[in-house]
A and B are shown apart, each in its own frame.
Chain A
């Protein structure tokens, strides 16, 4: 009987971690059927291509755990990318050094990016506007503002070092000859360039650094505990002494911060700021959070799950391109995984509660 229960427990916890197996199976499948899918270059591509979804989904995880949703993030990416690029261009034109213009652009975008979150949070917490409505309103406001700032024209002529930052890697390795940090070894011949191995894109490093910090905050700090508490039961959390209003505002600001960070990463990667920059990725981000095991009713979810959820989508997208299969199949596949995720969530309530 005890053995039986133990087996059952193992079985259930395996089901709960199905996305890890799914992700692994996906990588194995594409590695066998694809061409050079399992290569450093391609795996780094998956991480790079998932940048926006990873960042948006991390912020969204906080909001979804509190039982809310943040639909504004898609266009906050665009707003932040436009502000970031515009500040860089204007300051450089005003005669500032590249370093100064670039860092001012990034800081300006990140600070301004907190604003939509602050407003969302105030609306949801203090004025009891449903999150769906409040953030959907902000979605339009952010998009319109971005269009006004850039005059409906993508921002161009950025300082030249933006490209080397955004397309740079942490390490470069020329087997047997050179190993450099942050910049390519100098004076390479054409053949050597071909053999140069680039390791860890700067953008990916920054992305995972930010995700890591907030994964820690969610999992290990009081702030994280309160986030789960609010999602589990708001009134109970209030009675337990959590300042729910204050906390919700912070949570929406975290989501907004990640969106604006995604905007900055967009500028680094594409050397331009565009108002619709992240809009196509909004739903992918929500999907990643749900695949990652968070419930839209609040109270559950982890950053690790979300990251895996986002990578499942990214690996699938790149895999289909590798196999030269049209990506409308991607939508079908992602749709199926999403529904599967919710079904697993629905039919295993005891698992969810055991985790709490």
Chain B
């Protein structure tokens, strides 16, 4: 018995040595919003940067569906490890995540929100949600406006359009909608005939767009705000045999959507820069923790517009999500 105890104790000692040996490097945690190519690409970008800067990156389980009930338990389990120096996450709700992230912040872990934010995303003014170091993500409003403009040009400034959105309580997609509405206002003959929310379920998006096509046979274009709504939208259009007649604008340059663009099922794709977002989180995090640098409260990487004309350009390939 004694022997066993001695062996066990020495094992524990060994293990604690092993752990303390790599305790010096910074440890960042990344909590994604949902399992999709956008966040996979972000993870890759973050991992590459972490390797470069010698940061250990722990990635939380990718939630199977979008929503605080899927994300929060994983997030809590992730930070309960207690060995994390900084967290960057895409909050799945502007409100529900405020107290959760606040608790993490209060326990001494600085928080960066990436792609989505909490509250209204303005962390520069004091408020109950202004504690995150920074919001790193696309200017979704500007992106929405850009898509509206590009569609209007494609349709020669005239036609009915439909918006397929995902979650009414997620900052990023709501701003795309706002930007899209604002962008359309510039063109007096462009009309937004409807908005639906598919809650990130592709089948729902397909059904909603099918219904819109029934209701508005002269529909000229659909804008699907993310991977699921866009893929659902083009399935619905393809099923009705209206490819080409109904233009589809989408967001996020996933492999599937790029293939669809090449086949002519989709006409316009706004590519964000998820890999860059991930890398920026790691880079600014290191600067903040090691050099005490002041991080801008908002960091906005740009975006890239894919159409049939440039999808095969060599310099465009880097914007495809991998």
Contacts and interface: CB of A to CB of B under 8 A. Distances in A.
Nearest to A193: B106
A153 B197 contact: yes
Contacts of A321: 60-61, 74, 77-78
B73 A36 contact: no
Interface stretch (B91-99, B179-187, B280-288): B91-99
Interface in A138-194: 152-154, 156-158, 163-164, 166-167, 193-194
B99 A45 contact: no
A269 B169 contact: no
B168 A153 contact: yes
Contacts of B72: 269-270
Contacts of B60: 321, 324
A157 B168 CA distance: 13
Range for the number of chain B residues in contact with chain A: 35 or more
Given A270-B68, A270-B69, A277-B69, A35 B81 contact: yes
A49 B77 contact: yes
Interface in A299-324: 317-318, 320-322, 324
Contacts of B59: 324
Given A48-B73, A156-B169, A36 B80 contact: yes
A154 B76 contact: no
Contacts, number: 99
A322 B73 contact: no
Interface residues of A, number: 40
A36 B83 contact: yes
A162 B261 CA distance: 46
A317 to B, nearest CB: 7
B54 interface: no
A326 interface: yes
Contact of B80 (A45, A156, A167, A277): A45
Contacts of A48: 73, 76
Nearest to B196: A152
A255 B153 CA distance: 57
B21 to A, nearest CB: 15
Contacts of A163: 98-99
Contact of B103 (A34, A52, A158, A167): A167
A152 B197 contact: yes
Interface string A275-296: 0110010000000000000000
A41 interface: yes
Contacts of B76: 45, 48-49
A32 B65 CA distance: 31
Given A156-B95, A318-B73, A327-B61, A272 B80 contact: no
Contacts of A322: 77-78, 80-81
17 contacts: A39-B80, A39-B82, A49-B73, A153-B169, A158-B95, A163-B99, A164-B99, A270-B69, A271-B98, A272-B93, A272-B96, A318-B77, A321-B60, A321-B61, A322-B77, A324-B60, A326-B61
Interface of B: 58-62, 64-65, 67-70, 72-74, 76-78, 80-83, 93, 95-96, 98-100, 103, 106-108, 167-169, 197, 199
